[in-house]
Structure 1
Amino acid sequence: MENVLKKYEAVQMGVCYYPEHWDEALWEKDAAKMAETGVKVVRVGEFAWSRMEPTDGVFEFDWLDRAIDLFGRYGLDVVIGTPTHTPPRWLTTKHPDILPVMANGDLYQPGVRGHRCFNSRSLRSYGERLIDRLAQRYSRHPAVIGWQIDNEYGMLDSRGEQAAADFRDWLYRKYGTLERLNREWGTVVWSGEYSEWSEIVPPPASHRNENPSFLLDFARFQWDSVAQFQAWQIAAIRRHCPEHFITHNFHSYPQRLNMTEVGRGLDVAAFDYYPNTSPDKVTTGPYSGALSLDLTRGIKRRNFWIMEQLSGSPGSWFPMWRMPQPGYIRAFAWQAIARGADTVVHFRWRSANIGAEQFWHGLIDHSNVPGRRLKEFADLSAEVNRLAPKLAGTRPLVRAAILHSYEQLEALRIQAQAPGMDYYENIKAYHRALTKLGIGCDVIDAESADGLEAYDLVVAPHLYVLHEETAERLSRYAASGGTLLLTSRTGVKNSENVCVMTPLPGLLTECAGVTVREYDPLGEDVARLDTEEGGQFACSQWADILEPDDRAEVIARYGSEFFAGEAAVTRYPFGQGETYYLGTHPEESYLRQLFTQIAEAKNIPYFPELPMGVQVSLRGGGASGEPAYLFVLNLSREDKEVKLDLRADGRLRHLDGLNSLLGGGRTDRRLKLRPYGVEVLEYRPD
């Protein structure tokens, strides 16, 4: 396994290819062209069940043998997708329990994709049989290096009979008795108490007024169902392929599915990355994309794969996006690598001429004439292959972390707190402010995050459902010297999504050094935030009116509303560290100022003058004296001049004369980048 793990850590480019969609006469020409353009990896198979098993128990792998043999002859490695995302019609006709019953009662129809209930026993039986044969057949094939389980998991909220029965079993294992369940959920409200287990069924689509504890547990049950659905597939592969790596391609953030829980069984996480090409997204999209990449890295707390990367204009069941401009494909692939992607697989090699995704464009258009995008991809692959030996074994070097929680995301979706207050959008705001300062950060799971002592700063937004273990872990972190930043709506609920009868922020009150005397859900109304230095900023969404401890420093107060003059933001010395508490959601300029102050106090390096749209990332081995690699990316449509000035240890360092790995030669500290321009600079941190 160790050799294979090292192999998938190699920085390389790949493509998605569907041999079953194309005349076999095209295959060799395509494989030869892939090798010529610098491709190293090909993903196949994730939708091909009907070709692998056209009728019950009749398996046809000869076509796949020929395709994989062909890729191997051209030096291309292969990742096989297990095809459980698309059960064939003969199977769903024979076993309709495979089709999910959606929350509105409709049956998810076959012939689309994702038409499989994670709880279906028939799907498991037939899927395991197929995967066992696949794994056995390709366990020793020299071109096959790994497996992708299924495709793009999501929350189905299935109301099928098996899902309902499994949900009741899940609840029984958790609570043991209906008496305890009724007590923990508080079902006495509205006479909702259960007297028989059979009375518990999954919630309908119109569940706004349902018990919030019930709804959160139904989400947790689905997380476990997906993890179990994945586990039997992994076991089937491992029986025959102990040295192959296994991944899954997560997608579309914010994602209700608990990706950290599902990711535990994987060797490496993967993400399908489609940065938005629309002009109106040009100022926000690259920052949202940076968060998606950091969040994917956080699933396993290590480097990851991009299993689908944008290659052309997406579209099919929605109007097409704008075509990526020259440089776009290259720049966003380098953004992924800068933030920890080791392999970037582009979707797809050629635009489909059949099926629903005909206008989800690939590297080559329907004409089958290689054009601008394939040329850009080939140039990109050449750059990546040239730098791969230097980047092998490196990772993003960061000193800050943001805690992200699927439980908070779901609980705050169940019970929205104020108009315009969105958990994931607020995480975007904190992450964007750090990114614009060039401060790299890990985005990691709040409920399972350990090793926090590795970070100088931990931002923990809206810990609304607060577990005792999480509160203890964060308190220890701050007490041992860390800087912890908490926000409003912390400590509101216990682990069963029930409000606690104690002053907020609940279990973190001692660590925060404040209590919330009163709060006002501001929503979209705008209040004023006044700093002690005389600055004025806008704030909205929420206003905690704070009662600081005697040792707490008030660093900002409300400047308007009936609570003008009251504490809004505090800093509290706790043990050897400190805790900041933000009682409101301030505008980005305030977050930038606050993070700048924290960076200077904690000696966290940052770039004070990055232009809008320019991102920097540092990737290296982490050992003292080793070189690191500074990625400078202009993810905008305009020319940018970047001052390579790094503030650290209380002084401004001019990063002049760094070695350019893409352009060659030494760079001036004033770096000029064209639209979607990229530089990778060799840098030796002190």
Structure 2
Amino acid sequence: MREQMKQAEPGSYSKVQIGVDYYPEHWEEAMWEPDIKLMKETGVKVVRVAEFAWSRLEPVEGRFDFAWLDRALDLFHAYGIQVVIGTPTTTPPRWLTTACPDVLPVFADGSVYHPGVRGHRCYNSASLRTYGSRIIEALARRYSSHPAVIGWQTDNEFGMLDCHCDSCNRAFRSWVQAKYSTLERLNSEWGTVVWSGEYSSWEELTVPYGGSPHQNPSLLLDFQRFQWDSCIHFQRRQTEILRAVCPERFITHNFHSYPQRLDMHGLAEDLDVASFDYYPNPAPQKQATAPYSGALSLDLTRGLKRRNFWIMEQLSGPPGCWFPMWRTPHPGLIRAYAWQAIARGADTVVHFRWRSAAAGAEQFWHGLIDHSNVPGRRFAEFAQLCGEVNALAPLLEGTEVTSNAAILYSHEQMAALRIQPQADGLDYYDNIKQYHRALTKLGISCDVIDWRQPLEGYKLAIVPSLYLHDEEAAQRLESFAGNGGTVILTNRSGVKNMNNICLLQPLPGLFSRAAGVTVAEYDPVGHDIHMLVDAAGESFECSQWCDILQPEEAEPVAWYGDDFFAGSPAVTVNRFGAGKVYYIGTHASEAYWLKLLGGIAAEAGLAAFPDLPDGVQAFTRTGEKGELLFLLNLSRGTQSIGLDKHYRSALSGSLVSGIVELSPFAVEILETGV
């Protein structure tokens, strides 16, 4: 096992504060001090810099120019503002890509990911490893003791590149050899006998070049796993350098745009704290969904390290770059969504960006200050947020989100289900959105964690479509249920082994032991709407998939109401040890999930906040000093919410009880124990 290097102390990244992203290299130096002075006056505590600045830091090979960054960091320190430096490897400079074209990714059709944008770097490029390590080490040595620098961000917004260059081809062959050892085992584990795909020498093994997309699903899944490992190793080289040179500074990475195809949990292992770039869509037509998909993104980010996190980029104005500009944030939206992030466990929220760019592709990805260069309405709202967070920081310090429910998330399941789509409309992540939205509407706090993580401390585990599975996964859920936990399994579970090969056994495979049910037949109904009837005779819609269930030890709790399988069980529950295992054979409507989870919450003793109006969310952070209840109206309409006890408003100091009216995008933060 790889020896873990000592990670930074939490105190360096657990402060509750507001920050901004700033690019001193984009502006005349005469603008820096007025900007930083205004940041200080506004209440900004931290900035991120330099993640795209390689060409300014090393304008020609081997000649570093840190003088401009020295002056910027010294100014930030003079005004008491802390700094996170981004390693600049996401934007290799033109002198490097010209001299070493192996830095550039190559797509399956042979086209090249050219410079002039960002993200144009192959994780397996030997040249990038050499030159990237050199610039990172030089930066780390230069700023390891600078009093303003508190941490580092690796690269920027890692993503899947699907690179098919010669370096990746050789590396993939070595990766497969290391995993399977012999061609005989490889051919057996991938089932290459189908379509005469057997390998007779290692030289025949390549990355899955272009042509037909219908290639061996085991090859395609392992190619994705190889890319996950490539990205992890690319980042690991950076974290090893940073920890060797400046071990007291924390390291983070800014994940973005879920769902990500990456192994985010593997990447997060080498970080001190996870970060997320949060851009909720402010369009009116998105207001029904944005608050809930955003809550899922925040819970998923918290689940990467199973502790508090950072927002490294937060919406500050209408985005626009490779698409037409979004609507501008409605009054109150910037503040409300920043508080939503804090409520879900963000300690630091950094807004992108201080000022809208005057040049380049992101000119219309608006910052806090528009091209007028005059602070306006959005800036005033940001200033209000800074004042509130700075005032409440002592109350928030040391608090965290505590959940008794978990959703088990797996990038491997998502990858396999995308390689071979199972039914029209069946989308792994979209389905998780619905389960999480139901929990959020019920006020049930939920962690979203890697599917291999321990489940101690939870009362409920929702386990979506464990399409790939093994004995370890089955035993983990059996142990959890046997010790009193409630498990909810969904359809398309237990279909394949971990190499993406179908198993010749009744579904849901190894999970049938705990579920007490098998699947007699299934119908991929796609977008067709079918009916589900529960034990109370209430009807609900369902779609995507219909498992026709054959209970063994399990008891049916809902049945299909139509088609040739009318009357057949659709949902079952099985008592297993001291707990219960539900199996849901279809994709039931949100109304059904609300009813099911409401009943489970009452039975399992899950803390809930029922009857929340649409768009209103209730979250709690708890610490040694007590509990803080966040009430957020993330909608454009006034909403009312009832409280069952007395509170004190942390924002106003007034006593609050009974019916609370929340205006559009209103925030209330309540102290208990009044």
> Normalising by the residue count of structure 2, what TM-score does the alignment of the two structures yield?
0.98
Aligned match of 2:180 in 172, 175, 178? 175
Residues 428-577 of structure 1 mapped to structure 2, 5 A cutoff = 428-446=433-451, 448-450=452-454, 452-549=455-552, 551-577=553-579
Compute the RMSD of aligned alpha carbons. Answer: 1.1
Q: Distance in 2 between matches of 1:509 and 1:316?
A: 49
CA deviation after TM superposition for structure 1 residue 105, in Å? 1.8
Matched, 1:415 2:420: yes
Correspondences of 1:125-274 after superposition (within 5 Å): 125-274=130-279
Matches within 5 A, 1:80-95: 80-95=85-100
Aligned ranges 1:341-356 → 2 under 5 Å: 341-356=346-361
Q: Distance in 1 between matches of 2:391 and 2:621?
A: 16
Q: 1:40 to 1:260 in 2, by over 3 A?
A: same
Deviation at 1:207, TM superposition (A): 4.6
Partner of 1:650: none
1:593 pairs, out of 583, 592, 595, with: 595
Q: Distance in 2 between matches of 1:218 and 1:437?
A: 40
The answer to whether residue 438 in structure 2 is matched with residue 396 in structure 1 is no
**1: CA distance, partners of 2:569 / 2:211:** 40
Distance (Å, rounded) in 2 between the aligned partners of 1:241 and 1:468? 42
- The question of 1:322 aligning with 2:323 is answered no
Instruction: Give the AA of the match of 2:192.
Output: T
Partner amino acid, structure 2, of 1:520: D
> Deviations along 1:180-227, whole A, 9 cap, x unmatched?
001000000000011121212212355531000000000000000000
Map Cα deviations across residues 329-374 of structure 1 (whole Å, 9 max, x no partner): 0000000000010100000000000111000000001111111111
Runs of at least 5 residues in structure 1 that lack an aligned partner in the other structure: 645-653
Alignment partners' CA distance in 2, 1:635 and 1:395: 22
Structure 1 CA distance, aligned partners of 2:558 and 2:468? 26
SS in 2 for 1:91: helix
Q: 1:178 to 1:354 in 2, by over 3 A?
A: same
Say which SS state the counterpart of residue 319 (structure 1) adopts: coil
Q: Distance in 1 between matches of 2:428 and 2:8?
A: 40
Aligned to 1:382: 387
Residue equivalent to 1:647: none
How far residue 250 of structure 1 moved from its aligned partner, in angstroms, is: 0.4
SS of residue in 2 equivalent to 1:519: strand
2:607 to 581, 597, 605: 605
- 2:668 paired with 1:679: yes
CA distance in structure 2 between the aligned counterparts of 1:592 and 1:197, rounded to whole angstroms: 53
1:660 aligns with 2:631: no
Q: Which amino acid aligns with 2:479?
A: R
Count matched residues: 669
Superposed counterparts of 1:614-629, under 5 Å = 614-621=616-623, 626-629=625-628
Give the structure 1 partner of residue 3 of structure 2.
Answer: none
C-alpha displacement of 1:3: 7.8
Q: Kindly state the Cα deviation for residue 438 of structure 1 after the two structures are TM-superposed.
A: 0.5
Amino acid corresponding to residue 241 of structure 1 in structure 2: C
Which structure 2 residues correspond to residues 77-116 of structure 1 after superposition, within 5 A? 77-116=82-121
Q: Distance in 2 between matches of 1:204 and 1:27?
A: 48
Letter in 1 for 2:538: G
Q: Distance in 2 between matches of 1:683 and 1:258?
A: 39
Distance 1:275 1:517, change over 3 A: same
Does structure 1 retain, via aligned residues, the 8 Å contact 2:546–2:570? yes
C-alpha distance in structure 1 between counterparts of 2:323 and 2:513, whole Å: 51
Aligned to 1:638: 637
Q: Alpha carbons of 1:632 and 1:275: their partners in 2 closer, same or farther (altered >3 Å)?
A: same
- SS for the counterpart of 1:216 is helix
CA contact (8 A) 1:263 1:300 kept: yes
Equivalent-residue separation in structure 2 for 1:455 and 1:367 (angstroms):
51
Deviation at 1:605, TM superposition (A): 2.0
SS where residue 219 of structure 1 aligns?
A: helix
C-alpha deviations, 1:568-606, integer Å up to 9, x for none?
101100011110000001010000000000001011121
Structure 2 unaligned blocks of 5 or more: 1-5
Provide the C-alpha distance between the structure 1 equivalents of 2:125 and 2:8, rounded to a whole number of angstroms: 36
2:100 maps to amino acid:
H
1:578 maps to a residue whose letter is K
Comparing 4-13 and 286-295, the one that deviates more: 4-13
Q: What displacement does 1:664 show?
A: 1.9
* Matched-pair contact (CA < 8 Å) for 1:101–1:158: yes
Does the CA-based 8 Å contact 1:40-1:76 persist in structure 2? yes
CA distance in 2, matches of 1:453, 1:436: 25
Separation in 2, partners of 1:406, 1:321: 29
- Give me the whole-angstrom Cα distance separating, in 2, the residues matched to 1:639 and 1:25: 45
Would you say the 8 A contact 1:663–1:679 is kept in 2? no
SS where residue 146 of structure 1 aligns? Answer: strand
SS at match of 2:540: strand
Mapped contact 2:12–2:249 kept (Cα < 8 A): no
Q: What SS class does the counterpart of residue 155 from structure 1 fall into?
A: coil
Task: Tell me how far apart the structure 2 counterparts of residues 41 and 375 of structure 1 sit (CA, whole Å).
Answer: 18
Report the residue type matching 1:602 in the other structure: A
Secondary structure of the corresponding residue to residue 137 of structure 2: helix
Letter in 2 for 1:507: L
Other structure's SS at 1:589 match: helix
User: What secondary structure does 2:424 align onto?
Assistant: coil
What's the CA shift for 1:668?
2.2
Amino acid at match of 1:659: R
The Cα of 1:662 is off from its aligned counterpart by 1.0
1:276 to 281, 293, 302: 281
- Of 74, 80, 86, the match for 2:79: 74
How far apart, in 2, do the equivalents of 1:72 and 1:144 lie? 9
Rounded Cα–Cα distance in structure 1 between residues aligned with 2:532 and 2:510: 27
Q: How far apart in 1 are the matches of 2:659 and 2:108?
A: 56
1:393, distance to aligned residue in structure 2 (A)? 1.1
Deviation at 1:468, TM superposition (A): 2.1
Equivalent pair of 2:8/2:250 in contact (CA under 8 Å)? no
Alpha-carbon separation, structure 2, partners of 1:207 and 1:592: 42
Residue 401 of structure 1 aligns to a residue in which SS?
A: strand
Deviations 1:387-421 (A, max 9, x none): 11111111112110000100011000000000011
Q: Describe the shift of the 1:329–1:225 C-alpha distance in structure 2 as closer, same or farther (beyond 3 A).
A: same
Distance 1:618 1:2 in 2: 28
Task: Return the match for 1:55 from 41, 51, 60.
Answer: 60
Whole-Å separation in 2 of the counterparts to 1:397 and 1:662: 22
